[in-house]
Structure 1
């Protein structure tokens, strides 16, 4: 599995030691605010098993993110296929960090490394990002990495309950558009 390094972060394969802090993130209402229900430990562990299997199968997916200076697990970042049933297709970039990592520029730094991998290694012509219309922090990261909102691609997530998780916004970046 490819490992990505930035000045402050390592995007690496998942380890058994990541399971507890990952489960804690998935049980944090603030971390999950724009994602839906909290996850149980079993659901959280199962997600890591899926991440590992998808990475093995495709050669890309969700990397665990570690802070280089401390070795601490701080979340994930990576690429995934856009969910079936959405009005567009392609690969989507994403990230999720523990609350104590917010506001330090880690999401932007990790996202730039993932964009480089997607464009330079996978040769993608375009990368997408989707989030809830209310997730202004993620939208700010999208803009910082050079993505542009595509209002024609905004949609209501049919799998989300009525409310703030249903309206979704789409951002795009083409190869050569990196910030």
Structure 2
């Protein structure tokens, strides 16, 4: 799939090193209470999980590249099933290499992921889970129409994560 500035594709087994480079970078984990990914084995487990989601659902997190450099992955993101607040939800998420920060890519990916969710898949709602001090990600979720939905006490000893939600436009009609 392509967008004006980005390309999206299903992750591939060969993406494991790039996944580890991005998810293992301390800077990309400033708001991740678990901290950076520790080793290539953890990256392989996450990638295997994503590939299983693609096989089961036909969608999941994308490998993301700039359109002019499609072979260089700058991040991963999109929508995928995730269980929280006592039930399965479709969750919007993303993580970008530091080189891609500050260029509006997170908002672009979020909008494209919501188009997939609502226009192609006909999903009723999409959720976002964000740490309460991650102002930049909260702004991205608000820009794409997400509103506060609740909280998730997912990190012992820390403030609960904020759960944001946007519903399919047709479900809001009278």
- Normalization by structure 2: what TM-score? 0.88
**Contact in 2 for aligned 1:65/1:74 (Cα 8 Å):** yes
Shift of 1:38: 2.0
Correspondence for 2:36: 38
d(CA) in 1 for partners of 2:29, 2:62:
18
Shift of 1:176: 2.0
d(CA) in 2 for partners of 1:92, 1:26:
18
1:176 counterpart = 2:174: no
d(CA) in 2 for partners of 1:45, 1:127:
26
**Contact in 1 for aligned 2:61/2:79 (Cα 8 Å):** yes
Shift of 1:155: 2.7
d(CA) in 1 for partners of 2:81, 2:12:
23
Matched length: 167
Unaligned ranges ≥5, structure 1: none
1:5 counterpart = 2:18: no
**Contact in 1 for aligned 2:23/2:95 (Cα 8 Å):** no
Shift of 1:110: 1.0
**How well do the aligned residues superpose, as a CA RMSD in angstroms?**
1.7
**Could you give the per-residue CA deviations for residues 21-80 of structure 1, whole angstroms, max 9, x where no partner exists?**
211112211211222232111101221111111101111111111111112201111212
d(CA) in 2 for partners of 1:56, 1:132:
29
Distance 1:141 1:12, change over 3 A: same
1:156 counterpart = 2:149: no
**Contact in 1 for aligned 2:13/2:47 (Cα 8 Å):** no
Equivalent runs, 1:2-151 vs 2, <5 Å = 4-35=1-32, 36-39=34-37, 40-71=39-70, 72-84=72-84, 86-87=85-86, 89-150=88-149
